[in-house]
Amino acid sequence: MFNVLKNACRVEALQLSQMERVEKALVLYMVVSWRIARLMRVGRTCPELDASLFLAADEIHGAHVLCKKARPKKPPTLNQMIRMVGSLGGFLGRKSDGEPGAKTLWIGMQRVMDAVITIQILRDGYDTSGNEMI
């Protein structure tokens, strides 16, 4: 978790002037780091678990959209989703590569979250100011 916090979130690079801001940033980044580390660990120990136990439906949908893959008829496994998200972060998936690491999952999840926001805006039919879209 601290590897993700330091290297992926780059907490040391934050230059916040007030302690209150540093605390708020750390709280947010620790949650993100914990989630990435948890996905990595559980994905390696229990790869056949249903991905919907760890990822929201919009996150699964967003990853499929970005990878240009059709939505599967049965729920994807955690390993399938981790590899898909990892591929969005630069993971190549060759035989000798092993499983995606923290950095590729971090980058991939950033892209997935961008897709999630887009999916939600399109589904709700509203622009960011709350006005109904035409």
- In tens, the pLDDT along 63-96 reads 999 999 887 788 899 999 999 999 999 999 888 8
To the question of pTM greater than 0.85 for the whole model, the response is: no
Residue pair 133/127 in contact by the 8 Å Cβ criterion: yes
Which pLDDT band, with edges at 50, 70 and 90, does 14 fall under? confident
Q: Mean pLDDT score of the chain, rounded to an integer?
A: 87
Dist. CA 106–CA 84, nearest whole Å:
12
CATH number corresponding to 2-124 = 1.10.740.10
Which of 16-20, 43-47, 59-63 has the weakest average pLDDT?
16-20
- Tokens 């690491």, residue? 101
Q: What is the pLDDT of residue 128?
A: 59
